[in-house]
Amino acid sequence: MGTDRTCQLFDFLAQLVKEDPGEAARVAALLDRTAEHGPPKDETKCRFFKSLRIFELKTRGGVRIMAFLEESRLIICSHAFMKKSQKTPDSEKKRAADAKADYVKAKSHNLVRRVD
């Protein structure tokens, strides 16, 4: 969640529902499956960036959701974007790594609360 109290991922998904309902359904299924079973082992659906300890959930339609695992196996999605090239842009990886660092800092100060 950004400092302006909005959620980029929710906003992205709401727009995707309007523009491409089929792709939005595939994203929802991927997120549901990930919530139930953890990140997919299939490289076509999930790519791990070991050095950053973040991962990228992927759809064939080009949607990418950057995420990381919290200690209790909670999956935290930092943001989503549409893939425009073969390689994940460094700026997107940095954005996810920065979100993870912000989360860890906030958690260490007891500033994290669950929103259902």
Who contacts 56 (Cβ-Cβ below 8 Å, separation ≥6)?
46, 47, 49, 64, 65, 66, 67, 88
Domain ranges of the chain: 8-107
Judged against a pLDDT cut of 70, whether residue 24 lies above it is answered with yes
Domain 8-107, architecture per CATH: 2-Layer Sandwich (3.30)
pTM (global) more than 0.85 = yes
Question: 64 versus 114: which is more confidently predicted?
Answer: 64
pLDDT band at 5 (very low <50, low <70, confident <90, very high): low
Question: At residue 33, what is the residue type?
Answer: R
Nearest by Cα to 67 from 86, 95, 44: 95
Residue-wise pLDDT for 41-100, tens only, equals: 999 999 999 999 999 999 999 999 999 998 767 889 999 999 988 899 999 999 999 999
